[in-house]
Structure 1
Amino acid sequence: MTTNKTPVTVVGLGLMGQALAGTFLRNGHPTTVWNRTAAKADALVAEGARLADSPADAVTASPLVIVCVSNYDAVRELLDPLGEVFDGRVLVNLTSGTSEGARQTAEWAARRGGSYLDGAIMALPTAIGTAEATVFYSGPQSAFAQHESTLRLLGAGTTYLGTDHGLSSLYDVALLGVMWSVLNGFLQGAALVGTAGVDASTFASIAGPLTGTVRDWLPDLGRQIDKGDYTTRDSTIDTHLGAMEHLVQESESLGINADLPRLVKALADRAVADGHGGSDYAAMIEQFRRPAGNRP
């Protein structure tokens, strides 16, 4: 492949790694790949990728090295024996983990002479390279700016969060919490209406627009939290608590698991006990800020 586009190396060829490498190839970047199981590179090699002989060969092949493996320990185990081959290169770690793991890996990379960006992918492999994909990056802004045009190929939602290497992983887990809350709330509701013979698809057509309405509340909720202003806008926590009790009772009476609504109600009970019964729902943030069992 003859091109003046930045050569890229992708280490780790699970479904996500293959999607990353495939996107670079389709956009004309010379792409080197490596994986413990070499056969996973066959389709990419057929499209024009070069299969490296070793991790060292893979890293030295490109100024931009992207790693996407199982966890941060696997990153260090794989690359630690290579020594200081990262000098002058930008290492982008798109492996899932925690913010502390990201910061530790950044320190590890710094000792090996490379610039390090930590990243988090908020998309399925099939969405990589499309408008549906969001990829977060954190670390030195100079490293991001150096390869920004190449990294933006992975998703229209490419976002640089700041110099703290831990931010990408922190956003990742925080947003996964939002995702699971929405999914679990839908599943609870589908189980409830299912007792009346309503299928989940019908319920989804009703619940979907509601999630959009709730989404639109978030900017104002964020402003209230940032200001510490819990003045009631429309409904107090006491009012919410009454409705939560109805959800618990309805679930129990219909033989539906009530663990999730009980947990939500327990948090609201604590907020009321802390004197926030007449506050806006934004005051619930104080319950999430407090570690479990740490009561005043």
Structure 2
Amino acid sequence: MSDVSVLGLGLMGSSIAHTLIDKGYSVTVWNRTPEKAAPLTAAGGKAAFTAVEAVESSPITLSVVVDSSALVESLGDDIDLTGRTIVNLATGTPADARELERWVTKRNGLMLSGTISAYPKDIGTPVGGVNYAGPLELWNRNAEMLLALGGLSGHVGEVISDACTLDLSMLIFYMSSIAAFQEAVVFAEAFGVSPDRLVEFVRPGLPVLEREVDETVRRVESGDYTTDEATIGTFHHCMDLVWKASATVAARPIISSAARELFALGVSEGRANEIPSGVVPLLRQIRDSSRHS
């Protein structure tokens, strides 16, 4: 019996398995293409012929296959998971996490859902992180091993979908911000400003962005969107200027156009004089009306 099994030996799965082996755990590994297991068996791991064999070899299995559907397909509906814990680390939606939990529970197993906030090279390092959700008692029982995957790892909630929800919410902010900067690079270049000049101009504003994120949370929690500083109307005016300037150089402002549309909605709904986080109630209304339509 191994300490832990790892399913899926792509870049991330292999990094996870190597890290656990390096930290002294006995590890069983499985991949659809068996040759990917060779470097891990050379490092001291044991290769299983099937996913079911891998799961049966350990009390806890970390699944890093492409998604929850691939995990279910690999294990089959007839598997008995009594005495086994599945930790699903595949990127998915909150609904995917809830559905997989029902599937695992129906087969007498236990489950944690995790999201990886790290590149493969960061796994096992102080800057690596895996966020886990699920029953606190189950987390406590396996925390020492799961924390070995990175210094920023931790338990984020007992609701099985919490890790997915937080991860996707973070990606909305993170990836949209990266995309916005990439759009800014193209815009600046069109007017003769190089990327290195742009980044030096943008950099001092990053602490301000962090401050405004915190301010958004405070305003949303209080419901007070009054301000005597920059307003939704101001933000809309600025994005409108970007849109007009982009047209003069045939640039396509995808991200800034979305922001322009959002703040235009705030203006049209009579919230032009509110702090920009005043669009949150409007986005909630759109969400809720869509749910009931």
Using structure 2 for the length normalisation, give the TM-score: 0.93
Q: Please, which of 32, 35, 42 is the counterpart of residue 39 of structure 1?
A: 35
> Retained in 2: the 8 A contact 1:186–1:207?
no
Correspondence for 2:98: 103
Pairing 1:164-183 to 2, within 5 Å after superposition: 164-183=159-178
Q: Which amino acid aligns with 2:110?
A: S
Pairing 1:82-161 to 2, within 5 Å after superposition: 83-84=79-80, 86-161=81-156
Give distance in 1, aligned partners of 2:197 and 2:67.
39
Give 1:292 shift: 7.3
Give 1:14 shift: 0.9
Q: Which amino acid aligns with 2:41?
A: V
> Retained in 2: the 8 A contact 1:7–1:62?
yes
Give distance in 1, aligned partners of 2:10 and 2:78.
22
Among the aligned pairs, what percent are the same residue? 28
Q: Which amino acid aligns with 1:198?
A: V
> Retained in 1: the 8 A contact 2:21–2:27?
yes
Give 1:22 shift: 0.9
Q: Which amino acid aligns with 1:52?
A: A
Look up the SS of the partner of 1:69 in the other structure: coil
> Retained in 2: the 8 A contact 1:33–1:41?
yes
Give distance in 2, aligned partners of 1:293 and 1:153.
40
Give 1:284 shift: 1.5
Q: Please, which of 51, 54, 61 is the counterpart of residue 55 of structure 1?
A: 51
Look up the SS of the partner of 2:49 in the other structure: coil
Pairing 1:1-296 to 2, within 5 Å after superposition: 7-81=3-77, 83-84=79-80, 86-232=81-227, 234-291=229-286
- Paired residue total: 289
Q: Which amino acid aligns with 1:191?
A: V
Q: Which amino acid aligns with 1:28?
A: G
Using structure 1 for the length normalisation, give the TM-score: 0.92
- 269 and 73 in structure 1: CA distance in 2 versus 1, 3 angstrom threshold: same
Correspondence for 1:3: none
Give distance in 2, aligned partners of 1:262 and 1:221.
21
| RMSD between superposed Cα atoms in Å | 1.9
> Retained in 2: the 8 A contact 1:135–1:159?
yes
Give distance in 1, aligned partners of 2:3 and 2:74.
21
Structure 1 unaligned regions, length at least 5: 1-5
- 203 and 97 in structure 1: CA distance in 2 versus 1, 3 angstrom threshold: same
